[in-house]
Amino acid sequence: MKLHFTLRSILLFTCLLLSIHLQSQVTSKTVHVETAGTLPSLINQNLKNLLIHLTLTGNLNGDDFKYIFEMAGRDVDGKETSGKLTDLNLSGARIVSGGNYYFCDTDNDKQYFTSNDSIGSCMFFGRSRLTSITLPSSVTFIGERAFSDCTGLTQFIIPTSVTSIADSAFSGCNKLVNLGLYQGVKSIGKRAFLNCSGLASFTIPASLTSIDSLAFWGCTGLNSFYVYGENTSYSDSEGVLFNYDKTTLIACPNQKSNIYTIPSTVSSIADYAFAYCSKITSVTIPERVTSIGKNAFMSCTSIKLIHNSNPNPQTIDSAVFSGIDTTTCRLFVPSGSLSAFRSALGWSEFTNLFEGEPTYTVALCSGTGGSVQINNLSERMKTFKKGDSFQLNVIPSDGYEISEALLNGADLSFDIRDNHYYVSSITDDMVFYITFKLSDVYYSITSQIGKGGTITIGSLNKTSVRVKEGSFVDIQIVPQEGYELERLVATAIGSTEGIDITESVRANRLTLWPVSQDQNFIIEFREILKYNLTLNYAESGSFVVEVGYRQTYTCKLEPAEGWSINTVRLNDADFTSELKEGNWFTVPPMIGNSTLSVSFEKTIASIDPSSASTIKVYTEGESIVIEGAEAGNQISVYTESGAFLTTTKATDDSIKIKVSKGCTYLIKTTEKTFKVVL
């Protein structure tokens, strides 16, 4: 089969490859839309479903948004598309009226169209692919459900031009964690931030004058509200939102926990004010409160005590405390008002209704191995009035210690000091759970340190520590300058006799593991001494070097041309075999004054090379010693300058010739010439 390529087919194929390459590269684009409704003509169809980042300027109407939403994964009728757009920047654009509808509510058979400078109702409804949206700076209004269920949004900035946020505008944006709300916004509608569970705090600008009581319904992650000081409509205290003069409590953040006392200035609690505050355990309502809104405390499932300071039961509906277990929650009311509360709607549902100041119960639970007391009394349960103080005493039995200490389920171990725990003012029921265990065994590590240094045991500069059985401990020996470790002896505590373990010390460090008994260490230091090493070296004469105690000294022995090393002797002991390659020699650790003597033999005068290994010449005391010469061989001694001194014949395997010290001598045998210094 033959293949025919034409110029036209090659060009088409090249263009196809180029198009594929360009499409794979383009993920962001900036487009100016001069005439509203023309965006579809400004973005190539091939790029439409490839763009991830899109910046638009100019004028935008319904036709443009229809195209944008198709790029963002879902068309205006809710059908999925192949679009990949996640980042939409409209900061330089303006929304104008006109064009097709941008959203169709099929349930209610309603269509929505753009209007000037508004984010209309449902405009971005359910656009979950979008993770970042930047609004035009000209927008003044955000409509109902405008961003509802935009579950991809993590942060959002509302332009200063916006004055109103309508009902449910951001409902269901559960990943929204950062919201920029600045000066300009005046009103926030009902359920505007419904179920925005990612919001941890909410800042209210000075311009805001109206907030619906249900605006933050379901914001379960909310810790606090913050109100700008210039705001004349709202205020905050302890993260709770109030009206300006703190007479109305508007909203308590859902993350508020433990005990909460409503400020004494409050006279009204708004609808749903504490709804879903499931971490609050106790609440005090001040005497001035005369109005409690519907569902004000609904789903406050952890509340176990309510203290109502008003002797006149507030008129409430039956759902105010829905979700609170009224069969176990205790309600305290002023003296003389018990009968009134027992017959009042809503209040009468509480089984445990008491007059007077609240009382709290302290209960003790402890295991074997010890006991627990309240104020030195062995009572398992005791009742206190609000504000009372008491001391908890934990008493382990002999050989036991505290294993676990819990207060209302929370760890208390680090707060117990010397087996005591003090409560200065009781404000809640308290259940203590204390268990015991067999005590850990500890051993003492002590030391006696002589002059010349110190030690570090573990990480402490101490001479004694207590160490848990089975653990390991480092002992770092730290000699002072001019000193070194001489001896380390391990003994029983109180004894001076023990085992010398100096050899176990490495780099002034000793590790004990595992620790299994009391241990004492006697550490002795000594001054670092220096010794003289005299080198008798035929080429250089004699010279002396100083070497520290137990230090080594390395030198290179270099014979003159035509000479080789015959013997190396240290303190009259033969060390010739210790000579290393290159004629390097290391003196062993010095423990006293020493003498190193080196003799040489003249290699070029050798008659019988084998004799080099049989004749040795060295010095000993005030004599020159010749070993290995054959009997009858003539041995002559000369000064270094060639003056004859003496001659003799070898009779024994070793002969000595007495000479004067401080000179270099030449020793001639029948076969070789040697050079030594004495």
Same domain, 537 and 670: yes
Same domain, 491 and 504: yes
- Token pair recorded at residue 30: 């900036």
Mean pLDDT of 317-326: 93
Asked if the model's pLDDT at residue 650 lies above 90, the reply is: no
- Token pair recorded at residue 596: 């190193």
Enumerate residues 6+ apart whose C-beta is below 8 A from 39. Answer: 31, 33, 56, 60, 63, 64, 67, 68
Mean pLDDT of 77-96: 94
Same domain, 417 and 404: yes
| Count of structural domains within the chain | 5
Mean pLDDT of 239-257: 97
pLDDT of residue 57: 97
Same domain, 461 and 346: no
Same domain, 376 and 512: no
Asked if the model's pLDDT at residue 5 lies above 60, the reply is: no
Q: Of 197-211, 275-289, 663-677, where does mean pLDDT reach its minimum?
A: 663-677
List the CATH number of the domain containing 289. 3.80.10.10
Same domain, 604 and 632: yes
Torsion of CA 493, 499, 501, 503, to 10 degrees: 170
Enumerate residues 6+ apart whose C-beta is below 8 A from 20. Answer: none
DSSP 607: S
Asked if the model's pLDDT at residue 620 lies above 90, the reply is: no
Asked whether residue 273 is assigned to any structural domain, the reply reads yes
Same domain, 392 and 323: no
pLDDT of residue 6: 55
Higher pLDDT, 333 or 2: 333
Q: Of 28-42, 112-126, 664-678, where does mean pLDDT reach its minimum?
A: 664-678
Task: Label the pairing between strands 28-33 and 53-60.
Answer: parallel
- Token pair recorded at residue 218: 């379901």
Asked if the model's pLDDT at residue 12 lies above 60, the reply is: no
Same domain, 382 and 352: no
Alpha-carbon distance of 137 to 6, in angstroms, equals 55
pLDDT of residue 608: 47
Domain that holds residue 323: 246-357
Alpha-carbon distance of 156 to 177, in angstroms, equals 9
pLDDT of residue 23: 47
pLDDT of residue 611: 43
Q: Which of 279-288, 450-459, 634-643 has the highest mean pLDDT?
A: 279-288
Q: Pick from 104, 148, 106: which is nearest to 130 by CA?
A: 148
- The label of the residue with tokens 């941890």 reads 200
Asked whether residue 480 is assigned to any structural domain, the reply reads yes
Q: 413: buried, middle or exposed (CB in 10 Å: 19+, 13-18, 0-12)?
A: exposed
Asked if the model's pLDDT at residue 660 lies above 80, the reply is: yes
Asked if residues 66 and 72 have their Cβ atoms less than 8 Å apart, the reply is no
- The label of the residue with tokens 């002072």 reads 480
pLDDT of residue 166: 97
Asked whether residue 1 is assigned to any structural domain, the reply reads no
DSSP 531: E
pLDDT band of residue 299 (cuts 50, 70, 90) is very high
Same domain, 410 and 449: no
DSSP 630: P
Amino acid sitting at position 318: S
pLDDT of residue 652: 76
Domain boundary among 417, 438, 459: 438
Mean of per-residue pLDDT scores for the chain: 88
Rg (CA), the chain: 49
Domain boundary among 84, 116, 148: 116
Phi, psi (deg, nearest 5) at residue 320: -55, -40
pTM (two decimals): 0.59
Share of the chain above pLDDT 70, in %: 93
Asked whether residue 269 is assigned to any structural domain, the reply reads yes
Same domain, 556 and 671: yes
Domain boundary among 116, 145, 161: 116
Higher pLDDT, 471 or 307: 307
Bridge-partner residues for 599, per DSSP?
Answer: 567
List the CATH number of the domain containing 449. 2.60.40
Enumerate residues 6+ apart whose C-beta is below 8 A from 435. Answer: 366, 367, 369, 402, 403, 404
Asked whether residue 197 is assigned to any structural domain, the reply reads no
Enumerate residues 6+ apart whose C-beta is below 8 A from 522. Answer: 447, 448, 450, 487, 488, 489, 491, 496, 498
Asked if residues 66 and 39 have their Cβ atoms less than 8 Å apart, the reply is no
